[in-house]
Chain A
Amino acid sequence: MIAALAAGTFAIRFAGARLGQAIPTEGPMARALTALPGCLIVALVATSMLNAGWREATAGALALAVAVATRNLPATMIVGIAAIWALRQGL
C-alpha cells in the first residue's frame, strides 16, 4: 500500500514538473482538480458518519464548531475526542 501510494504520488508531482505549461491552469479540469481534495474529505466525513448515533452527531457538531472557530487541527481533535468520551461515559 505504501509503495503504491509513494509511486503514484511521485508520478503526479513529477508529471506536473515536466509537463508544466501543458497542464491547464483554468477551465473545467483545473476547477475540478482544485475542488477534489475538499470533496473527498467531505465524502470521508460522510462515510464516517454513516452509522453515527446522536452521540457521534453531537460530538461531530462540536468538533466542527471548534474547527470553524480555531482552524486548528489538534484543538479540533481534542474537543472531538473529549466530547465523544464524555457522551459515551455519561449517557
Chain B
Amino acid sequence: MPPLPSADGFAAGARDVLPLAFGTAVYGLAFGLLAAQAGFSPLQIGVMGVVVYAGSSQIIAVQQAGAGAGIAASVFAGLALNLRLLLITASIHDVYARQPWWKAALGAHLTADENWALLLAARARGRPVGWGYLVGGGALQMATWCGATVLGVVFAAAMPEPRALGMDFAFTAAFLAIAVSLWRGRSDLLPWAVSAAVVFGGVRLLGAPPHWMLAVGGVLGAAVAGLRRDG
C-alpha cells in the first residue's frame, strides 16, 4: 500500500489519533463532571478547552479554583504542571521551524502528549510526517476534548447533591489515577515522598495554606529528582 503524497498529512494525523480519542472522550466527560462540581458553566469549560487545551492542568486549576484557592494559586498550579510541554515542543522544534509564524503558533498550541507521541512513532517507522500530521491529530483531539468536557458539565447539572453521592471524592480518585499513570519506576519514589511530606509538614506543623504547599511540595519533589544523579 504505497502512501499517497497527502497520506502523511492532516488526514493521516487525525486517523492515527482516532483510537486515542476514545480515551480522551471518557477522560473529558470525567473532567466535565468535576468542573461542574467546582462551579464552572458549560460555556466556560468549552472555551477553556479551546484556549488552554491541556487536560491535567485544566483539572488541577479547576479543582483549586473550586476549593477557593484564588486565581494566582490556581493558575500557578496549572502552569507548573504544563512546564513539561516545553520539553515536548522543544523535542520536535524542527516541525515548526520552516512554517510562517501563525502556523508555528497553531502547531505549538495543538501539540499534546498524544499527537506528539504519534509523530515520534511515525518518524521512527520512517514516515515523513510533519506539521500537517501534528495539526491533524491535534485538531481531532481538541474537538473530542471540548465536546466531551462540555457534555460532562451538562450531564453533571442534572445530578442531585454531589457530596451525598460521594462526588467530592471524585477529584481525589482522579488524581490517584493520574499519579499512577505518571509513575516511571523506583526513581520516582523519593521525589514523590518528598512532595507528600512537604505538604503534610507544611500544613500540619507550620500551618501554611494548603494551596501554596501544593506548589512548594511539587517543586521541591521535582528539585530532588533533578539533583539526583541516577534520576
Contact = CB atoms under 8 A, between A and B. Distances in A.
Contacts of B181: 67, 71, 73
B175 A45 contact: yes
Contacts of B89: 13-17
A15 B89 CA distance: 8
SS class, residues of chain B in contact with chain A = helix
A23 B168 CA distance: 40
A40 B81 contact: yes
B93 A20 contact: yes
Interface residues of A, number: 65
A10 B109 contact: yes
Contact of B165 (A9, A59, A64, A85): A85
The bracket for how many chain B residues form the interface is 35 or more
Interface in B36-78: 44, 47-48, 51-54, 56-58, 60-61, 63, 65, 71, 74-75, 77-78
Contacts of B174: 73, 76-77
Given A9-B78, A50-B210, A76-B173, A36 B217 contact: no
Interface of A: 1-6, 8-10, 12-21, 23, 25, 28-50, 56, 59-60, 63-64, 67-68, 71-74, 76-77, 79-85, 88
Given A5-B58, A31-B231, A50-B210, 5 more contacts: A6-B51, A13-B89, A17-B96, A45-B175, A47-B214
Interface of B: 26-27, 29-30, 44, 47-48, 51-54, 56-58, 60-61, 63, 65, 71, 74-75, 77-91, 93-97, 104-105, 107-109, 111, 165-167, 169-184, 188, 191-192, 194-196, 198-200, 203-204, 210-211, 213-215, 217-223, 225-228, 231
